[in-house]
Amino acid sequence: MKHLVVIIAFLLLGATIHAGIVEKSRDDLKERINDAIFDRLIEKTMRAAHMSALSAAIIKDGKLVWAKGYGLYDRENGKEARNDTVYLVASISKTITATAIMQLQEKGLLSIDDDVNKYLPFALRNPKYPDKPITIKMLLSHTSSLAVDPPAFYCYFPGDLEIKGYPYPWLEEYLVPGGIHYKPQIWSDAMPGEKLQYANVGFSLLGYIVELVSNESFEQYCQQNIFKPLGMHNTSFFLKNLNISNIAVPYEYYGKYEPLLHYAILDYPAGGLRTNVIDLSHFLIAHINDGVYNGIRILNASSIEEMHKVHATSPSYFFDYGYGFQIWHIGGDTYIGHTGGLYGVATKMVYRTSDKIGIIFFTNKEVRNLKEVTAFALIERLLFWKATHDIKELSHDIIRQTIEADKSLLDEMTAFQ
């Protein structure tokens, strides 16, 4: 009888183990199916928007849980995108510049309430309001009364652009009446502090203030105080500091893909950062986690809170603005991060405050028309779906429409709304 009990126990244990193995096999198969569905959705969306390459990452529970590349980041040499492919990320750069400013405030080297003229070697005022100070916090929140940049502001230079004493005297010549590059339309009719008006040149000024206060170049300061502490080893504002063969070639699409030269912009504190999704995930995790990544604190929680708080809003924009961060209120949720766009570049870094899930994705083609903008938004939504749902929870109709239908992506997008 005792032997029979032992035999039955072994049989039951074996059945349990077998059931566990079968269940694990089913889970693995389900995961592979879900991954294949997700990849197909991403690739179809990329094709519809003529995105040559895309690299993306998902952050969950304070960790990088997934990262992958799709497509070709260098079509001429057949190089496939990976999770460590480096991209020019455009205006996501502003989050780095704002972080540097807040660090300097914590060190007691400046106050964001200060008049910028306390630090600049020239007097900065809106000529329409000569007695109204422009503060650092106004630059951080795009409320300085600098207007949207005129087309002449955007200058692109092949390779790196390093100017001794950057960016002075260029900024003075551009911003001060009588300067060789001055145009009256760079100043709005709004009083400083009154209105949200997105102006890249304000972040060039902030980058310059970082240099003046720290006595280091902007690049050196960011390397020592942000990139190195966060383990962002493939991140820089200069091509010379990166492996050029691993940088995504920017493309435009006019019936075929047209490669652009790797270029620099004059206002690089506003938009010249190059990085990969893995490196930038460290930075986003620090911002999600009240200033800490992997035990390293780059900012106090109080500074993070101020940066992520709404300081400016306007019906002219689809977002509010904090200090260096865009803020969206969608469907009862708040999303904090930044988008970026330049020639051959479309990027986004964002996290959802309700569950602290973050996503990052970079493409090496600018989004221009409604269909491409819709595709960009769809990729964001798919990444959040991957982070929080079984992809198969997407209805059969949505999957069928997204994968099989030949109608436009705009029609497909309506299924997700």
**Residue 402 lies inside a defined structural domain of this protein:** yes
* pLDDT score for 402: 47
Question: How does pLDDT run across 117-138, given as a tens digit for each residue?
Answer: 999 999 999 999 999 999 999 9
Which pLDDT does position 19 carry in this prediction?
A: 54
CA torsion sign for 406, 408, 412, 414 is: negative
323: CATH: 3.40.710.10
Confidence grade of residue 148 (pLDDT, cut at 50, 70, 90): confident
Same domain, 181 and 262: yes
**pLDDT of amino acid 155:** 61
Q: Average model confidence (pLDDT) for the chain?
A: 87
pLDDT band for position 24 (cuts 50, 70, 90): low
Q: What band does 405 get if pLDDT is binned at 50, 70 and 90? A: very low
Q: Greater confidence, 220 or 163?
A: 220
The pLDDT > 90 percentage for the chain reads: 71
> Tens digits of per-residue pLDDT, 94-103?
999 999 999 9
**Confidence (pLDDT) at 89:** 98
Same domain, 398 and 308: no
Residue 298 has pLDDT above 90, yes or no: yes
According to the model, what pLDDT value does residue 34 have?
A: 76
Which of 325, 351, 366 lies at the terminal end of a domain, its last residue?
366
pLDDT at 377: 92
Give the mean model confidence (pLDDT) for residues 177-192: 92
Domain assignment of residue 184, yes or no: yes
Both tokens assigned to 115: 């008049």
Q: Look up the domain containing 265 and give its range.
A: 71-366
Is 78 within a domain? yes
User: How confident is the model over 1-30, as a mean pLDDT?
Assistant: 56
pLDDT (mean) for 366-380: 92
Whose structure tokens read 């493309």? 251
Where residue 388 falls among pLDDT bands split at 50, 70, 90?
confident
Indicate whether 215 and 337 sit together in one domain: yes
Tokens 């010549």 locate to 173
Per-residue pLDDT, averaged over 55-69, amounts to 97
Report yes or no on 62 lying in a domain: no
pLDDT at 158 over 80: no
Where is mean pLDDT largest: 3-17, 374-388, 391-405?
374-388
Same domain, 188 and 115: yes
Give me the pLDDT at residue 417, please.
Answer: 32
Question: Which residues does 29 contact at the CB level (< 8 Å), separation at least 6?
Answer: none
Whether residue 361 has pLDDT greater than 70: yes
DSSP letter string, 56-67: EEEEETTEEEEE
The pLDDT value given to residue 154:
62
What's the token pair of residue 71? Answer: 């497509």
- Report the C-alpha gap between 322 and 335 in whole angstroms: 12
Neighbouring C-beta atoms of residue 9, cutoff 10 Å: 10
> For residues 197 and 401, which has the higher predicted lDDT (pLDDT)?
197
Cα pseudo-dihedral 41, 274, 253, 325, rounded to 10: 70
- The yes-or-no verdict on residue 408 having pLDDT over 50 is no
For 176-184, the CB contacts below 8 A with 24+ separation are 176/122, 176/123, 176/124, 177/127, 181/152, 183/150, 183/152, 184/127
For the chain, what's the residue count? 417
Q: Please identify, among 366, 392, 408, the residue that sits at the C-terminal boundary of a domain.
A: 366
Q: Is residue 297 predicted with pLDDT exceeding 80?
A: yes
Same domain flag for 121 and 252: yes
Tell me, what's the pLDDT at 156? 60
Confidence of residue 266 (pLDDT cuts 50, 70, 90): confident
Q: In terms of Cα–Cα distance, which of 407, 338, 380 is closest to 90?
A: 338
Euclidean distance between CA atoms 104 and 94, whole angstroms:
15
Is the CB of residue 338 less than 8 Å from the CB of residue 326?
A: yes
Residue 309 shares a structural domain with residue 198 = yes
> Which of 325, 350, 366 is a domain's end point?
366
Same domain, 379 and 267: no
What integer is the mean pLDDT of 332-342? 96
Looking at residue 90, the DSSP 8-state letter turns out to be: B
- 327 and 378 in a single domain? The answer is no
Predicted confidence at residue 63, as pLDDT, reads: 97
First to last CA, the chain: 65
**61 found inside a domain:** no
Which of the 8 DSSP states describes residue 186? G
Tell me, yes or no, whether 210 and 314 share the same domain.
yes
> Residue 242's pLDDT is what?
96
The pLDDT of residue 97: 98
Q: How many domains does the chain fold into?
A: 2
Kindly state whether residue 250 falls inside one of the protein's structural domains. Answer: yes
| 307 lies in some domain | yes
- pLDDT at position 160, please? 65
State the residue for tokens 């230079």. Answer: 157
- Position 368 scores a pLDDT of 87
Secondary structure (DSSP) of 202-264: HHHHHHHHHHHHHTS-HHHHHIIIIITTTT-TT-BSSGGGS-GGGBPPPEEESSSEEE---EE
Residue 157 included in any domain: yes
pLDDT average, residue stretch 232-259: 95
357 shares its domain with 408:
no
Instruction: Clarify whether residues 278 and 151 are in a common domain.
Output: yes
- What is the model's pTM? 0.87
Residue 139, pLDDT above cutoff 80: yes
Q: CA-based Rg of the chain, rounded to a whole angstrom?
A: 24
Q: Are residues 273 and 292 in the same domain?
A: yes
What's the average model confidence in pLDDT over 53-67? 97
